[in-house]
Amino acid sequence: MPQPEARPAVLDLFRSTGAYLSGHFRLTSGLHSPAYLQCARVLQHPRNAEDLGSRLAQAIAALVQLEPVDVVASPAIGGLIIGHEVARALGTRFIFAERDTSGKMTLRRGFEVTPGETAVVVEDVITTGGSTREVIESLRARGARVLAAGSIIDRSGGKVDLGVSRAALDTLVVDSYPPESCPLCAQGIPVVKPGSRAV
């Protein structure tokens, strides 16, 4: 049996793999922030991915009160690895949505969802919940019943409401600002888009 007490805290895993960055960052949401979580650095170690996926699957199973889940779906690219590992732990299939040329988050590659299937949506980090919300909508448009959403980290401090139950393994409360009222911009500190350079 897994022993949760023997597992390192989630944010400690981020720190020990250099995935918790400090500076001045432009998030995918467009907001600026003094901290960034580079999840790919934690998940580059398959053992961490499997461990986090298993923990998140347990949290989601508790949330949906063990109602069977047919499919796990994630927004590409951020949700791919963790969604895959959650699906492995839940014993379901895994599909992903990606942006088409018009910028709309859609299921492609022949992925199918049967009306009435139950789904959960998994992302690496939820900040505004925008990508997860789009995947929920695309699943519903195909008749799926979305039971819950999950992420490794909740950066919204619990504020994001997706209209479904939501699980996260840890919460990181760091200020984020619209560019026009960003104090780091006001100090003239150059803003970095994470992943655009070596760190």
Residues in contact with Zn ion by CB under 5 A are 32, 182, 184-185, 191
Among the listed residues 4, 24, 9, 25, the one whose alpha carbon sits nearest the alpha carbon of residue 153 = 9
Residue 41, classified by CB atoms within 10 Å of its CB into exposed (0-12), middle (13-18) or buried (19+), is middle
Nearer Cβ to Zn ion (158/183)? 183
CB of 137 to Zn ion, least distance (A): 30
Q: Give the DSSP H or E segment for 61.
A: helix 46-63
**Shortest spacing between CB 170 and Zn ion, in angstroms:** 25
In the complex with Zn ion, which residue's Cβ is closer, 46 or 178? 178
Structure tokens at 59: 């949290």
CB of 115 to Zn ion, least distance (A): 44
What residue ranges in the chain does DSSP mark as E strands? 20-26, 32-37, 71-75, 93-99, 105-107, 118-126, 145-154, 165-171
Helix and strand totals (H; E) in the chain: 6, 8
Q: Which is nearer to Zn ion, 32 or 155 (CB)?
A: 32
Closest distance between Zn ion and the C-beta of residue 35, in Å?
12
Residue closer to Zn ion by CB (options 30, 157) is 30
If the CB atoms of residues 86 and 184 are measured against Zn ion, the closer one turns out to be 184
Peptide bond into 153 cis (omega under 30): no
| Cβ proximity to Zn ion, 32 vs 166, nearer residue | 32
Q: For residue 57, which phi and psi values (nearest 5 degrees)?
A: -60, -40
Q: How far is the CB of 154 from Zn ion (least distance, A)?
A: 22
- Proportion of the chain in helix, strand, coil states, percent, rounded to 5: 30, 30, 40
Q: What is the C-alpha R_g of the chain?
A: 17
**Nearest distance in Å: CB 186, Zn ion:** 8
